[in-house]
Amino acid sequence: MLKITNITKTFNKNNGGKFQAISNMNLDVNESEFVCIVGESGCGKTTTLKLISGLEVPTEGKIVLEGNEINGPGPERGVVFQEYTLFPWRSVLENVTFGLEEKNIDKRKRTQTARKYLEMVGLADYADAYPYELSGGMQQRVAIIRALAVNPKILLMDEPFGALDTRTRDFLQNELIRIWATERKTILFVTHSISEAVFLADTVVVMKSRPGRIHDVIEIDGSRPRARTSKEFKDYCTIIHGMLENGLDRVHF
Amino acid sequence: MDKKRVLEKVFFNLLLPVLLASIWQMLAIHIDKPMVLPRLEAVGKVLAHPDTKILITGSLVENMGISLIRVLCGFFLAAAMAIPLGILMGYYRSAERIFASSVESLRPIPPLAWVPLILAWFGIKGLSDWFPALSSSVVFGGVQFSMIIIILIGVFFPILLNTIHGVKSIPKIYIESARTLGSRGFSLLLKVIIPASLPSIVTGLRIGMGIGWMCLVAAEMMPGSNAGLGYLIWYAYELLRTEIIVAGMIVIGFIGFIMDWGFRHVERKRFAWVGRMK
């Protein structure tokens, strides 16, 4: 459903030089697939997501979502960022209805949809609270359903749990799998945590830096929820870890 | 808050003013020259009868009303120009390039330095020259264009600068997430850019109101003025009626305090989120 063809992204550096963030990248994502992109900092994984979201424009190549070439941001591609991005001047409910307002859906319908999603993530009691009254984990749950409420075709997530503590993170990973299972959304999830990728993904895309490129793509077998302590789980982690280690050897610190 | 805490708060708030007033009164009795330092009861007498005519000007309340309406006219005009321009300059780099040098070179000129030129342009023309029906109104009859423009100049810059700052300091991530949710153009402006910069805009309004009030009182002391609290003070000075001067000063301070309190109240109530985002 999402097809990335030969994309290259070059940034101009302040000193007049150029920095190639992504070099000649190709990727296909299927309907309802959960894809995780892992890689060290600077491998271009966040840039990839920005390109798909339309917030950045590729230097070369094209990205096509269900036959339409991507040209700027749009509500059919929901984005959840690592930073807390809820609008602080809006209540939790008003945050979730934001995208629906932009779609000109009438007020009763919007509230109904927002409440349904708040119910789904167990935050129905917080509808009238303001983001600053919520913990980081709760804010990220609201950010996820804010993106889901507009019914996007694909959900793009950029290390959404990166700033959270391990327990909250594990909890939200389970939540996300549950949401994904009920909504059957296509998800593209960027992380630097190998275990997070193995826990969540159908497919793990391993990226390497200088220039940013896809190193390998690994299919993860095994039903969900996955046991983080199983041998199989650890084997996958070891394989991916090995791939990233090789990359690090060539980096001069 | 329990009763004891309230009493405590009132006590500490009043401690210094009461002390200062006592020292004043002792000095006034000691010096015994009302033209230099009036006694408290003389000032109190002026304040206690705000509706009686003072000297040849109107009453205290009338002068207050004239000053207040002048400030509000200038204030709203300034806000109506500075907020849109500030949003434009804060959001579009090109708008900033066009306006920044003019703004930065006009801003350091004190509003009062404009007085002679503005008097030369507008003289003592006022609202009643456009709407003759208003000339019989004590309050609206005193709205002169020159005063309004002086206030406008004083109020304009703090609002403009704070609006620009407010728009510029919106975290980019708010705008990006709004865009990924399908927001753009006018809707993005209305639903993200304005609410996100509103706390800073209100701070600008608050500072602007304070400056406008100061400019006004000073402008009313200039030639061509014939009413208002500033005029009252100046006129009383010429007759050496210091108790009227002090009463006028107290009223000015009091109004400024009330207006500032109003703005701070709005900031506390409406912008509880400021500084609390994780």
Is the model's pLDDT at A247 over the cut of 60? no
Tell me which CATH homologous superfamily contains domain B40-171+200-270.
MetI-like (1.10.3720.10)
- What residue of B is the nearest CA neighbor of A73? B180
Say how far apart CA B194 and CA A181 lie, in whole Å: 38
Closest CA of chain A from B227, distance in Å:
43
- Region of A79 please: left (phi>0), alpha (psi -120 to 50) or beta: beta
Is the model's pLDDT at A227 over the cut of 90? no
Is the model's pLDDT at A142 over the cut of 50? yes
Say how far apart CA A145 and CA A133 lie, in whole Å: 18
Closest CA of chain B from A247, distance in Å:
31
Judging contacts by C-beta atoms under 8 Å, the chain B residues touching residue A99 are 181-183
Mean pLDDT, chain B, whole residue set = 89
pLDDT, residue B274, reads 85
Tell me which CATH homologous superfamily contains domain A1-76+155-174+186-253.
P-loop containing nucleotide triphosphate hydrolases (3.40.50.300)
Is the model's pLDDT at B261 over the cut of 70? yes
pLDDT, residue A144, reads 95
Q: Could you write out the DSSP letters of every residue in B70-125?
A: HHHHHHHHHHHHHHHHHHHHHH-HHHHHHHHHHHHHHTTS-GGGGHHHHHHHHTT-
Taking the alpha carbons of B192, B196, B199, B204 in that order, is the dihedral positive or negative? Answer: negative
Preceding omega of A211 cis (within 30 degrees of 0): yes
pLDDT, residue A245, reads 80
Taking the alpha carbons of A151, A28, A157, B183 in that order, is the dihedral positive or negative? Answer: negative
Q: Nearest CA to A98 among B273, B172, B182, B171? A: B182
Closest CA of chain B from A72, distance in Å:
9
Taking the alpha carbons of B210, B216, B219, B221 in that order, is the dihedral positive or negative? Answer: negative
The separation between CA A63 and the C-alpha centre of its own chain, rounded to angstroms, equals: 16
pLDDT, residue A225, reads 81
Confidence bin at B277 (pLDDT 50/70/90): low
Query: Is the distance from CB of A110 to CB of A174 less than 8 angstroms?
Result: no
With a CB-CB cutoff of 8 Å, which residues 111-130 of chain A face chain B?
130
Q: Residue A88 and residue B187: Cβ atoms within 8 Å? A: no
Confidence bin at A251 (pLDDT 50/70/90): very low
Query: Is the distance from CB of A127 to CB of A93 less than 8 angstroms?
Result: yes
Tens of pLDDT along B214-246? 998 888 887 777 888 999 999 899 889 999 999
The helix/strand/coil state of A10 is: strand
Percentage of chain B beyond pLDDT 90 is 54
Query: Is the distance from CB of A208 to CB of A247 less than 8 angstroms?
Result: yes
- What residue of A is the nearest CA neighbor of B198? A89
Residue whose structure tokens are 């059957």: A184
Contacts of A11 (CB under 8 A, 6+ apart): A18, A19, A21
Say how far apart CA B203 and CA B120 lie, in whole Å: 33
Query: Is the distance from CB of B156 to CB of B208 less than 8 angstroms?
Result: yes
pLDDT, residue A220, reads 92
Say how far apart CA A110 and CA B108 lie, in whole Å: 50
Q: Nearest CA to B247 among B11, B17, B45, B9? A: B45
Confidence bin at A250 (pLDDT 50/70/90): very low
Confidence bin at A253 (pLDDT 50/70/90): very low
Angle ∠(A83,A84,A88) on CA atoms, nearest 5 = 145
pTM of the model: 0.85
- What residue of B is the nearest CA neighbor of A149? B181
Q: Is A61 on the interface with B (CB under 8 A)?
A: no
The separation between CA A78 and the C-alpha centre of its own chain, rounded to angstroms, equals: 9
Query: Is the distance from CB of A202 to CB of A220 less than 8 angstroms?
Result: yes
Is the model's pLDDT at B152 over the cut of 90? yes
Q: What is the ipTM of this complex?
A: 0.89
Which residues of B lie closer than 8 Å to A, measured between beta carbons? 171, 173-174, 176-183, 187, 191-192, 195-196, 198, 271-274, 276-278
- What's the token pair of residue A135? 């913990």
Q: Nearest CA to B229 among B208, B190, B255? A: B255
Residue whose structure tokens are 């985002």: B277
- What's the token pair of residue B89? 């300059």
Residue ranges of E strands in chain A: 2-12, 18-29, 34-38, 60-65, 68-69, 77-80, 154-158, 186-191, 203-208, 213-219
- What's the token pair of residue A12? 């101009």
Q: Nearest CA to A25 among A11, A8, A1? A: A8
Mean pLDDT (whole number) for A61-85: 93
φ, ψ of residue A94 in degrees (nearest 5):
-65, -30
pLDDT, residue B141, reads 73
Domains in chain A: boundaries: 1-76+155-174+186-253, 88-152
Tens of pLDDT along B108-131? 999 888 888 988 888 777 777 787
Tens of pLDDT along A44-58? 999 999 999 999 999
Tens of pLDDT along B179-220? 999 999 999 999 999 999 999 999 999 999 999 999 988 888
pLDDT, residue B134, reads 76
pLDDT, residue A252, reads 43
Tens of pLDDT along B56-102? 778 889 899 989 999 999 999 999 999 999 999 999 999 999 999 99
Q: Could you write out the DSSP letters of every residue in A65-95?
A: ETTEE--S--TTEEEE-SS--S-TTS-HHHH
